[in-house]
Amino acid sequence: MDAVKLGIAGLGRGFMLSLPALRAHPAIRLAGAYDIRSDARARFATEFDAADHSTLDGLLADQIIDAIYVATPHELHAEQTIAALNAGKHVLVEKPMATSVAECAAMARCATSNGRVLIVGPSHGFDEQIIRAAQLVASGEYGPVRLVTTFNFTDFMYRPRRPEELDDARGGGVIYSQAAHQIDVVRRIIGQDVTGIRAVTGNWDTSRPSDGAYAALITFAGGAAASLTYSGYGHYDSDELVGWIGELGQVKDSARYGDARRKLASLSREDEMAAKLARTYGMDSELPNRPPHNEHFGFLLVSCERADFKVLPNSIEVFGDEVRETIAIAPPTIPRTAVVEEFASAIAGEKPPVHDGNWGLTTTACCAALAQSSQTGTVIDPRTMIQEQSES
């Protein structure tokens, strides 16, 4: 079968993280790109012998292109995805799918009405150890799943950021960017509908005034619950609990305490924008092609009635009634291959996707419910939020 000719909208950091998998996958050919940065587009065109489009309309009118990877800032996802679907293209859209339930509902409907594939990712719900943990739960061997405990303490708030990434009104802070990963992980493992979320969010640093932390309790239709904690305030680093392996599978140096905060403190706002730009395509910011470990999203313990599973980047430790055993998880061939594989095989009609538009809609509704619960002090059911959209 011919390779899917993929056009890229947004040659930034998110694209860079997916690039090794996209470049290597036999079912994908990088065929065109659109970005507001003409130098990045020109470089892409040369590197991949691809088309350089100065407008999204131009990219979407290109008959060679079968599919679009939308990797622009959050607030552009809905409009660009809908335009691409209406132009007959399949779409892989970065997480978060968008920053409102209404937008995600419209995107999911648009994919269905055009008969096109829509995948939301990559998120850490695609990580190999998460898929294996989900399989262990689904096997029923250890009894029903009852509880998932997960937390991630990072320096997210002190990495170089665009202004909108620190503006809650535009989907900034950690709720849409980071809870989207954690919610995907627990939904994938538990495999039941979310019935309610009670959460408290935290906005603790007036110099980075958006939500940088949260604690949430999520209930599921089959009776399971998940506790999710996240802090991006750069103090404790929970990678300590997974063998000093970083989110991208890299080896971390535990002695470099406070690096992100210290580097940021020496930068003006202009320097910070330049540092953010330096991590995009075309700026010579190469990523290690094959980190030694699988990617991950923090500490994760899954409790079934007859065993707890500690899910680590390279193994799952099973603490059963009588025995404790370790299941090895193979290191990655190329990170983020799973999302490319899911996209390509859905387009080829080989396998129905897990992370389709409706999956992404539910995850975004959970993010919105998390934020709303903190504001109202009540339990919010994301299904009600989705229902309201389908009625409006």
Ligand X SMILES: NC(=O)c1ccc[n+]([C@@H]2O[C@H](COP(=O)([O-])OP(=O)(O)OC[C@H]3O[C@@H](n4cnc5c(N)ncnc54)[C@H](O)[C@@H]3O)[C@@H](O)[C@H]2O)c1
Contacting positions for ligand X (CB under 6 A): 9-14, 17, 34-37, 40, 71-74, 76, 94-95, 122, 162, 177, 276, 279-280
CB of 13 to ligand X, least distance (A): 4
Helices (H) and strands (E) in the chain, counts: 13, 14
Distance of closest approach, residue 18 Cβ to ligand X, in angstroms: 7
The CB-of-172 to ligand X minimum distance in angstroms stands at 10
Distance CA 297, CA 386 (A): 26
Q: Which is nearer to ligand X, 309 or 343 (CB)?
A: 343
Closest CA to 17 of 8, 26, 5, 27: 8
Q: How far is the CB of 215 from ligand X (least distance, A)?
A: 22
Of 251 and 274, nearer to ligand X (C-beta) is: 274
Minimum CB distance to ligand X smaller for 335 or for 382? 335
Min separation Cβ 180 and ligand X, Å: 8
Residue 28 · residue 4 · CB < 8 Å: yes
According to DSSP, residue 161 is labeled -
Residue with tokens 């050919």: 29
> Of the two residues 37 and 109, which places its CB atom closer to ligand X in the complex?
37
What single-letter amino acid sits at 70? V
Spatial neighbors of 210 by CB under 8 A, at least 6 apart, are 166, 167, 168, 172, 173, 203
Q: Which is nearer to ligand X, 173 or 234 (CB)?
A: 173
**How far is it, in rounded angstroms, from Cα 296 to Cα 190?**
17
> Which region holds residue 325: left if phi is over 0, alpha if psi is between -120 and 50, else beta?
beta
Residue closest to 232 by CA, chosen among 189, 173, 180, 294:
173
Tell me phi and psi for residue 262, to 5 degrees.
-65, -45
Distances from the Cα of 300 to the Cα of 37, 206, 305, angstroms: 39, 30, 17
CA distance 193 to 191: 7
Tell the smallest beta-carbon distance from residue 281 to ligand X (Å). Answer: 7
User: Min. distance of Cβ 356 from ligand X in angstroms?
Assistant: 17
Smaller CB separation from ligand X, 145 or 368 = 368
In terms of CB distance, is 9 or 361 closer to ligand X? Answer: 9
Establish whether the linkage from the previous residue to 352 is cis, with ω within 30° of 0.
no
* Nearer residue to ligand X within complex by CB, 121 or 196: 121
d(CA 219, CA 201): 18
Q: Tell the smallest beta-carbon distance from residue 138 to ligand X (Å).
A: 25
Q: Tokens 């020496």 identify what position? A: 266
To ligand X, the closest distance from the beta carbon of 334 in angstroms equals 15
Q: How far is CA 281 from the centre of its chain?
A: 19
Residue nearest to ligand X (CB): 12
Between 210 and 280, CB nearer to ligand X: 280
Task: Quote the radius of gyration of the chain (alpha carbons, Å).
Answer: 20
